């Protein structure tokens, strides 16, 4: 009969002390129990924050007015279609145009910066 040896993972091979063993609680290496309450680390958290590129542009001033205008126009087309104020209405084509206009305004709203 053969006995297979189990391969130990790296996690099980580590020896972790029960008392914390002086594991640093801050970036400067001193454990929390040895620091004064007001002592803080001067080092950053190590995360990289990319600078804002100059190519990022803001939306033009007229952009939100176009969004609002398309939204109102779409709702107005749908209402006028069901009231019967448009030629050969009510028809599904006016409803489709109104819904597509509202959809375009929503898509433009997601691109607003």
Per-residue pLDDT tens for 38-97? 555 555 567 888 877 777 778 888 999 999 999 999 999 999 999 988 888 788 899 999
Q: What per-residue confidence (pLDDT) applies to 44?
A: 58
Q: Which two tokens stand for residue 105?
A: 């305004």
**Contact (Cβ atoms closer than 8 angstroms) between residue 36 and residue 42:** no
CB atoms within 10 A of CB 24: 14
Q: At what angle do helices 92-110 and 63-83 cross, to 10 degrees?
A: 160
**Contact (Cβ atoms closer than 8 angstroms) between residue 97 and residue 48:** no
Q: What per-residue confidence (pLDDT) applies to 49?
A: 81
User: What is the value of pTM for the model shown?
Assistant: 0.51
Number of H helices, E strands in the chain: 3, 0
Say how many residues make up the chain. 113
Per-residue pLDDT band for 11 (boundaries 50, 70, 90) equals: low
The residue with greater pLDDT, 36 or 50, is: 50
């Amino acid at each position: 009969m053969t006995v297979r040896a189990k391969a130990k993972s790296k996690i099980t091979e580590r020896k972790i002390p029960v008392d914390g063993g002086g594991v640093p609680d801050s970036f400067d290496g001193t454990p929390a129990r040895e620091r004064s309450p007001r002592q803080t680390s001067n080092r950053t958290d190590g995360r990289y924050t990319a600078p804002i590129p100059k190519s990022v542009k803001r939306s033009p001033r007229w952009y939100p007015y176009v969004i609002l205008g398309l939204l109102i126009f779409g709702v107005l087309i749908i209402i006028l279609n069901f009231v019967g104020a448009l030629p050969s209405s009510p028809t599904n084509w006016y409803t489709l145009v109104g819904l597509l206009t509202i959809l375009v305004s929503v898509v433009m709203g997601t691109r607003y910066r």
